[in-house]
Amino acid sequence: MELRQLECFVAVVEEGGFNRATTRLHMTQPAISYQIKLLESDLEVALFYRRSRGITPTEAGRVLYEQAQLIQNRVRLAHQALERLSDDAAGEVRIGTVNSVGIYFLPRILNAMRVSQPSARPTVLYRNSYEIIDALLANKVDLALVANPQPDRRLSLETILEENISLVCGKDGPFYGREEVRPEELRGQPFATLTSENPTGRMVRDYLAKLGVNIECVVSTDNVETIRQMVEAGIGIAFLPDMVSARNIACKGRPLGPFTRARVEPTLIRRIVLVTWKNFAPTPAVATFIEELRAHSREWKNCTDDANS
């Protein structure tokens, strides 16, 4: 039994199949299948039921999965212990985050860290907020960056950024170029919305309910980039976090892209929160990432400087 075989096995279980595991492991499906075959041969047990609708772990597979998680965690802790002996920021940084933060906020931080600490090895896991917190509790990530998480006595929550959730409208939309829109004007308007399973989508739903505004939902998804493209295509208007539209709005208010942002009072605000275990002892690499995160959060703007446009 080898660590690489266990890594392949865990990935297949967690991703629900060989095909999805290829993206996670950066391996071909035949290569993953070969590693699983070697593992089954070594253990002399079948680890998966292979059916036409997919695969599921056997009882032996479920037992091995539990033990493999413990083994991987101990190996990771050993690496981290050795990394802490070093004064530099070499080592892995496992980041869990949601699409909006990962697409529109995180890249600049990772780029700054690549320049200042090229020996660090960041990896990013994208899931919804609840799954990211579960991944943190299962020690599958070192830290989480999510919006408006629920308090948990086991975890430390640090708000690193507050941003507005603003109304955005495409060039063919009813509010293009407007700086402010009254709540009653939203009634019956076609909207592209985030699903209620998305924490930001749920915030918007509750916000509109408190305002007594009924809208026409023409499309719903849990992906902010899809919503942004729907607005750009003129399918509907939307409430989106400011970081999603920042590159399209100049700080002096002049639109740079295919849509504009408008205020709706009262302002809806979301918090971007750094979540770690309480009494968390970060490796030098993780500590460096957190320092870069805090620095960029202090300097963040919800618009684009004219000099950069």
Going from N- to C-terminal start, the domains of the chain cover 1-85, 163-270
Q: Which amino acid is at 71?
A: I
Q: pLDDT tens digits for 148-183?
A: 999 999 999 999 999 999 999 999 899 999 999 999
Helix (H, G, I), strand (E, B) or coil at 53: coil
Q: What CATH number should be reported for the domain whose range is 1-85?
A: 1.10.10.10
My answer on whether omega of the bond before 30 falls inside 30° of 0, hence cis, is no
The proportion of the chain whose per-residue pLDDT surpasses 90, expressed as a percent, equals: 61
Tens-of-pLDDT digits for all 309 residues of the chain?
Answer: 888 899 999 999 988 888 888 888 888 999 999 999 999 999 999 999 988 777 889 999 999 999 998 888 788 777 767 766 665 556 889 999 999 999 999 999 999 988 888 888 899 999 889 899 999 988 889 999 999 999 999 999 999 999 999 999 999 899 999 999 999 999 999 999 999 888 899 999 999 999 999 999 999 999 999 999 999 999 999 999 999 999 888 887 677 788 899 999 999 999 999 999 988 888 888 988 999 999 999 999 999 876 444
Say how many Å lie between the first and final Cα of the chain, rounded.
55
CATH 3.90.226.10 assigned to 163-270: no
The dihedral formed by the CA atoms of 178, 105, 23 and 70, expressed in degrees to the nearest 10: -130
